[in-house]
Amino acid sequence: MKLRNAVVVDGVRTAFSKGGRGKLEAARLDDLGAYLIRALLERNPKVKPNMVTDLGIGGNLARGVGHLAGLPAELVDFSSERACATSQETAMRISMAIMLGQYDCGISVGAERMGTYQQRLDNPRGAGATRREGPNPKSRQLTKEQRDMTENHFDYFSVPIPDYILDSPTGASMTQTGQNVCEMYDLTREEIDAFSMRSQHKLAKAYDAGIYKDEVLPVEVEDPVFDENGNWVPDEIGPMVVLDRDEGVRPNTTMEVLATLPPVRGIVSYKPGPLLITAGNSCPRNAGVTAQLLMSEEMALKLGVDFLARIIGWGNGGVKQQIMGMGPVVSTPKALKHAGLEMDQIDRIEFNEAFACQVVTSMRELGMPEEKVNVNGGSIGIGHPICATGNRLWMTVCKELKRSNKRYGLATQCCGDGEGMTVIFENPDAPK
């Protein structure tokens, strides 16, 4: 069987709001998902609703989203999950079905509302939790083989994992894994704060230049009412407001301001050494919705539909949970091999900034020049609503390839329990 080309036609999203205390707190995510689907079809009028065969949902919004968007009742849909790469997994699953010839057109949606629910997940032994919830304590009892570095560790990494990290508890919080990465690579606070500052400045500059106008759709939502403790009050109706800019953009970020931020609570140093992870060099918790229109290249050409990029390679990889953020160091070489490319051929990279430390160290390990990475800012300012980010990475890098007339793009991110996922794209209109 000859595989077909799958292409990214278009992608749109809401601005990402603060998780638990932002402008999207009172909004229904299924309404926002339906709004984005309708917008995709309105922007691409040659694609009719009855041409969409499958709707993938990264996050648990279920079948109603397609119906709200006006898609046919015969539509099939599915939900998927791969931690932080959930909507990237959803988009890839649709793309694979297109490549195999199962159908020609699908839509990938990602939706997330982080906040009190996420806090409960992060603190499963808190109020209201039972012994059925949270990490299974048995999963933390590792065999020697599970504990030790893999035989091929140095095929991917230039430094060993220190024993104090290998012997540290598994099931670590995401922030703890960031601290572990800092210590594994002897990073300084200044290095990761400087990266975070540059990310914020690039994002603010991109917004000022109008680069995100094609990606971020303004949405009219109810301005949520919060009580004195910062909790949303559902019974109080706020005025309608327009959200058209990510709430985490900080154009005035300076090294001096970042230096005043304390380490996040709950992390420890196993080295021991200084605690380096702060709110300023980490992504925030967010709410947001993303949507992408995916199609076979054959159908796009037949309909005369312009598309952004072809999907030409992908890879997944696993690492120790204690260094979760380093997953892209394993997944990216696999994706490059699948695409038949070398890193120096990649023109634009969208790397999810869960933590500045894991992007800084991964760039070193993978030979990624920073001038190609997150050229319009990244998740430290944009935000990282977990189930929505994967779609965002795809659309951002594909639109940037078109804007800059570059040929090859790469989207990558780490995933919650020690994974990485990487996908590679080709702009068909770029100079060969």
CA 89/CA 100 separation, integer angstroms: 16
Joined together, the tokens standing for residue 272 give: 């021991």
Joined together, the tokens standing for residue 47 give: 């694609």
84 is catalytic: yes
Kindly name the residue from 283, 357, 398, 414 that is annotated as catalytic.
414
Q: 403: buried, middle or exposed (CB in 10 Å: 19+, 13-18, 0-12)?
A: middle
Pairing of strands 309-318, 419-426: antiparallel
Kindly name the residue from 105, 357, 384, 387 that is annotated as catalytic.
384
Q: If you compute the radius of gyration of the chain from its CA atoms, what whole number of angstroms results?
A: 21
Grouping H, G, I as helix, E, B as strand and the rest as coil, residue 410 is strand
Q: 371: buried, middle or exposed (CB in 10 Å: 19+, 13-18, 0-12)?
A: exposed
∠ at Cα 344 (338, 349), nearest 5°?
A: 75
* Residue found by looking up tokens 């998780």 in the block: 19
Measured N-to-C along each axis, helices 356-366 and 189-208 cross at an angle, to the nearest 10 degrees, of 90
Q: In this structure, is the dihedral angle defined by the CA atoms of residues 27, 28, 32 and 35, taken in order, positive or negative?
A: negative
- The secondary structure of 306-336 as a DSSP string is --SEEEEEEEEEE--GGGGGGHHHHHHHHHH
Any idea which residues carry the catalytic annotation?
Answer: 84, 384, 414
